[in-house]
Amino acid sequence: MVETYALLDSGSNTSFCTKSLLEKLNFKGTRTKLSLTTLQGESEPIECSLVSLEASDLCESNKVQLPMVYSRSSLPIPSEPIAKEEDVDRWPYLKGVKLAHIDAEISLLIGSDVPEALQPKEMRPSEDGSPFATLTVLGWVLNGPLGRSTTAKVPTVNFVQRNKTLDEQFQDFCNQEFNDSSYKSKTSMSLNDRKALHIRKETVKLQNGHYEMALPWKFYPPRL
């Protein structure tokens, strides 16, 4: 178990984590390829690891399954915008919103493929352009300008999109859960076909210059 910050990103249809998080968890996952679409380019192929994780709040009272998480060397998310308790204290209408502070970076991005993590249970609406707060199963989330005095404002945006069909997603999930299994898609005989073939093999004989064999009764010998 590792404590980390997570970004709840409804603009992403995929969940990501950093390689350093997997190293701390001592988890390698399954190697796979991903076609990534960002504001800088479309369908960029990258190699990554596919893992299943479980996220919980700091009290470990609420847990969310993350069945498909792709690893990246890093997540381009700065740590400066992480909201703190002193940010909440600036706004009286946010009284009661508790934000725990931990010594960690943002190493997990949870996308819309895990809706139960993004679903708001309670909300404090914005007032006059101030931030709004939402309570999720993982805790409180603060969205909007924090009202801090900064000398420079660096715009940031997070947008990713995975170009994979549902069949490919399901296959990746099966490969992760059942790495030692393989299958081949081919036509096979039914049970009745096998019984009929067995009857013919066991009863065929050459009689007076021609071959004879028993009829492939469903029940053999037949019960007349």
Same domain, 195 and 134: no
> What is the total count of domains within the chain?
2
pLDDT at position 182: 54
27 token code pair: 């988890």
The answer to whether position 184 is within a domain reads no
Residue 151 binned pLDDT confidence (cut-offs 50, 70, 90): very low
Same domain, 155 and 133: yes
pLDDT per residue as tens digits for the range 162-182: 555 555 666 776 766 665 555
Same domain, 141 and 54: yes
Residue 125 CA to residue 146 CA, distance in Å, equals 14
Domain of 199 in residue numbering reads as 190-224
Same domain, 121 and 222: no
pLDDT per residue as tens digits for the range 60-81: 889 999 999 998 888 877 777 7
The answer to whether position 103 is within a domain reads yes
The answer to whether position 182 is within a domain reads no
Residue 31 sits at the vertex; the CA angle it makes with 30 and 32, to the nearest 5 degrees, is 115
Same domain, 171 and 199: no
Same domain, 141 and 36: yes
The answer to whether position 185 is within a domain reads no
The answer to whether position 77 is within a domain reads yes
76 token code pair: 């381009």
The contacts of residue 120 (CB under 8 Å, 6+ apart) are: 134, 135, 136
Q: pTM for the whole thing?
A: 0.61
3-state helix vs strand vs coil in the chain, percent to 5: 20, 30, 50
